[in-house]
């Protein structure tokens, strides 16, 4: 009989297989489980040495093969599959075991599962894992939440397998209950925002700057060496330079402009609405995926309306504007997501440290970016910082970029190039930095038609006016 394995993993799809191989690379023995015998065989073959990595289709053998307290990670699709796995494994688990859901589960599902499993003394964790298949193999960013004491059992494995930023592991205990899934959900909301913003800037430079794919590849690749350094800018450059193997030209031009989604961006928006925190750049990124899906309607509408003629302009000047605009709007997307996390922490008792979250996003995850170093500094300097736009070190950076955003958006409007993400970022900024907004009129209207009352700027109290009698 083998020595018990240090770590167990259920769900040997690409992510699961890569994650378990990563664990084994770091010196921990690991046992996998999947009902699909082909996936089990594939892992056994790839793992090489069964004393280090093995796998089984039998759940009972799987549980029996793990050292106690058992540390079992689930990498299966969010939703019913997670509940099905929990039901199948629950009878074999014992007091003190750890079950870690590494998928994009909805946070309230995690809270429910935590309570259900606590009855049996099982510690349930929601641990968002970001970085895709490559990240799982070479070092993801991991966002765990659950019992702080029980986390110590899994900490050595997670710190070993996580991506490193200047030697620091991109994983940290984030908070109780579903804190990990919540943070990963907002990570994905920000991801939607950054992707939408990147796609708009690409479209603008292509259409108004008249840049071809190779020129655009160079632009994004140059940007990736500066303050825009980020995974999404880096892969955009790679994508733009990729030729189509099924035909002439570049692959990106052959890809249908209908973006799919699995729901995490939408959940971020929906929950931000529930919390009363505005995240319009994330909202519009979700809406744009929905608009993109209306391909046939869009094509019909396209034929019914005129579009302004495109005025080609000096590309070098446009590239400079676009760089500043992307930088500005990236900051806004992170600001909105972090604001939401701050409020969620209060509402759900997550005790989140925003500086820690920004730190573990600096490498491994999809939204990793040089900018996160500045953001983590801002929250490290002041843990009570209410909003990133109030951070003293961020103010000059944002101030300097804003005029370029305005200039670029005017050109986009004149040329009929839709830039809803960038527009929303600027509008959010303009509204957030307005000491006085136009909503005094809305209060007056509410009071006029519904006697909803209003407050005054010059005295305390609640007022109602019989408007139509005046
Ligand atoms: C990550 C990603 C990942 C997510 C995909 C697809 O951090 O590795 O966020 O978890 O599932 O990006 O998301 P959509 O299908 O919703 O675009």
Q: Report cis status (omega within 30 of 0) of the bond before 69.
A: yes
Whose structure tokens read 């799809």?
13
Nearest CA to ligand 1 atom 7: 130
Tell me the sheet residues that pair with 130.
141
Q: Is residue 74 one of the residues assigned to a domain?
A: yes
pLDDT tens track, the chain, 470 positions: 579 999 999 999 999 999 999 999 999 999 999 999 999 999 999 999 999 999 999 999 999 999 999 999 999 999 999 999 999 999 999 999 999 999 999 999 999 999 999 999 999 999 999 999 999 999 999 999 999 999 999 999 999 999 999 999 999 999 999 999 999 999 999 999 999 999 999 999 999 999 999 999 999 999 999 999 999 999 999 999 999 999 999 999 999 999 999 999 999 999 999 999 999 999 999 999 999 999 999 999 999 999 888 777 899 999 999 999 999 999 999 999 999 999 999 999 999 999 999 999 999 999 999 999 999 999 999 999 999 999 999 999 999 999 999 999 999 999 999 999 999 999 999 999 999 999 999 999 999 999 999 999 999 999 999 998 65
CATH code of the domain containing 96 = 3.40.50.720
Phi-psi region of 351 (alpha: psi -120 to 50; beta: other; left: phi over 0): left
Ligand 1 pocket: which residues have CB below 6 Å?
Answer: 104, 130-132, 188, 191, 260-262, 264-265, 365-366
Distance 261 CA to ligand 1 centre (A): 8
Q: Is residue 357 one of the residues assigned to a domain?
A: yes
Q: Is residue 60 one of the residues assigned to a domain?
A: yes
The last residue of a domain, from among 177, 201, 223 = 177
Contact 104, 182 (CB under 8 A): no
Considering the domain architecture, whether residues 158 and 194 belong to the same structural domain is answered as no
Q: Is residue 381 one of the residues assigned to a domain?
A: yes
Considering the domain architecture, whether residues 440 and 403 belong to the same structural domain is answered as no
CATH code of the domain containing 404 = 1.10.1040.10
Considering the domain architecture, whether residues 17 and 162 belong to the same structural domain is answered as yes
The last residue of a domain, from among 132, 152, 177 = 177
Q: Which atom of ligand 1 is nearest to the CA of 141?
A: 7
Catalytic site residues?
Answer: 184, 191
Considering the domain architecture, whether residues 172 and 193 belong to the same structural domain is answered as no
Q: Quickly count: other Cβ atoms within 10 Å of residue 112's Cβ.
A: 14
Considering the domain architecture, whether residues 89 and 219 belong to the same structural domain is answered as no
Distance 82 CA to ligand 1 centre (A): 17
pLDDT at residue 179, rounded to an integer = 98
Overall number of domains in the chain = 3
Q: Is residue 2 one of the residues assigned to a domain?
A: no
Q: Which atom of ligand 1 is nearest to the CA of 192?
A: 17
Q: Is residue 403 one of the residues assigned to a domain?
A: yes
Distance 109 CA to ligand 1 centre (A): 18
Rounded Cα distance, 288 and 305, in Å: 20
Task: Tell me the residue ranges of DSSP E strands in 53-179.
Answer: 53-56, 71-74, 98-101, 123-130, 141-145, 164-165, 168-169
Considering the domain architecture, whether residues 274 and 405 belong to the same structural domain is answered as yes
Considering the domain architecture, whether residues 421 and 468 belong to the same structural domain is answered as no
| Ligand 1 pocket test target in 104, 140, 190, 232 with most atoms within 8 Å of CB | 104
Alpha helices in 65-106 (DSSP H): 80-89
The last residue of a domain, from among 177, 207, 231 = 177
Nearest CA to ligand 1 atom 10: 130
Edge to edge, the sheet with strand 7-10 lists 53-56, 30-33, 7-10, 71-74, 98-101, 123-130, 141-145
CATH code of the domain containing 441 = 1.20.5.320
Considering the domain architecture, whether residues 108 and 248 belong to the same structural domain is answered as no
| Ligand 1 pocket test target in 101, 163, 188 with most atoms within 8 Å of CB | 188
Q: Is residue 56 one of the residues assigned to a domain?
A: yes
Considering the domain architecture, whether residues 216 and 335 belong to the same structural domain is answered as yes
Considering the domain architecture, whether residues 166 and 198 belong to the same structural domain is answered as no
Q: Is residue 1 one of the residues assigned to a domain?
A: no
Considering the domain architecture, whether residues 326 and 387 belong to the same structural domain is answered as yes
Contact 145, 212 (CB under 8 A): no
Kindly report the pTM of this predicted structure: 0.97
Contact 145, 174 (CB under 8 A): yes
Considering the domain architecture, whether residues 293 and 414 belong to the same structural domain is answered as yes
Domain that holds residue 252: 184-432
| Ligand 1 pocket test target in 366, 367, 368, 369 with most atoms within 8 Å of CB | 366
pLDDT at residue 313, rounded to an integer = 84
């Amino acid at each position: 009989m083998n020595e018990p394995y240090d770590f167990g993993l259920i769900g040997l799809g690409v992510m699961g297989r890569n994650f378990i191989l990563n664990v084994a690379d770091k010196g921990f023995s690991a046992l996998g489980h999947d009902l699909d015998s082909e996936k089990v065989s594939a892992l056994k073959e790839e793992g090489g040495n069964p004393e280090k990595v093995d796998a089984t289709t039998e759940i009972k053998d799987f549980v029996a093969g793990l050292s106690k307290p058992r540390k079992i990670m689930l990498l299966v699709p969010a939703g019913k599959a997670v509940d099905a796995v929990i039901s199948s494994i629950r009878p074999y688990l014992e007091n003190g075991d750890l079950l870690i859901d590494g998928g994009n589960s909805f946070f309230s599902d995690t809270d429910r599962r935590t309570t259900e499993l606590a009855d049996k003394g099982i510690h349930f964790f929601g641990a968002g894992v970001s970085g895709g298949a490559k990240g799982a193999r070479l070092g993801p960013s991991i966002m765990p939440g659950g019992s702080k004491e029980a986390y110590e059992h899994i900490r050595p494995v997670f710190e070993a397998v996580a991506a490193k930023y200047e030697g620091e592991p991109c994983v940290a205990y984030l908070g109780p209950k579903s804190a990990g899934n919540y943070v990963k959900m907002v990570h994905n909301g920000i991801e939607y925002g950054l992707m939408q913003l990147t796609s708009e800037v690409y479209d603008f430079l292509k259409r108004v700057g008249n840049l071809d794919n190779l020129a655009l590849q160079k632009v994004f690749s140059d940007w990736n060496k500066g303050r825009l350094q980020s995974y999404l800018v880096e892969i955009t450059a790679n994508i733009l330079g990729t030729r189509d193997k099924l035909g002439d030209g570049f692959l990106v031009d052959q890809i249908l402009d209908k973006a799919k989604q699995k729901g995490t961006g939408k959940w971020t928006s929906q929950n931000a609405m529930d919390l009363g925190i505005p995240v319009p750049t994330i909202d519009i990124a979700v809406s744009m995926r929905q608009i993109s899906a209306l391909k046939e309607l869009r094509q019909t509408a396209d034929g019914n309306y005129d579009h302004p003629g495109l005025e080609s302009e000096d590309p070098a000047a446009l590239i400079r504007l676009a760089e500043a605009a992307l930088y500005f709007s990236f900051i806004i997307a992170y600001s909105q997501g972090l604001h939401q996390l701050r409020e969620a922490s209060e509402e759900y008792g997550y005790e989140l440290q925003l500086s820690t979250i920004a730190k573990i996003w600096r490498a491994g995850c999809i939204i990793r970016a040089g900018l996160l170093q500045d953001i983590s500094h801002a929250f490290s300097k002041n843990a009570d910082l209410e909003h990133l736009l109030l951070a003293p070190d961020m103010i000059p950076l944002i101030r300097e970029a804003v005029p370029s955003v305005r200039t670029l958006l005017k050109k986009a409007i004149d040329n009929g190039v839709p830039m809803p993400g960038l527009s929303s970022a600027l509008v959010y900024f303009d509204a957030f930095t307005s000491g006085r907004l136009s909503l005094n009129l809305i209060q007056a209207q509410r009071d006029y038609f519904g006697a909803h009352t209003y407050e005054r700027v010059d005295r305390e109290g609640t007022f109602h006016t019989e408007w139509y009698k005046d």
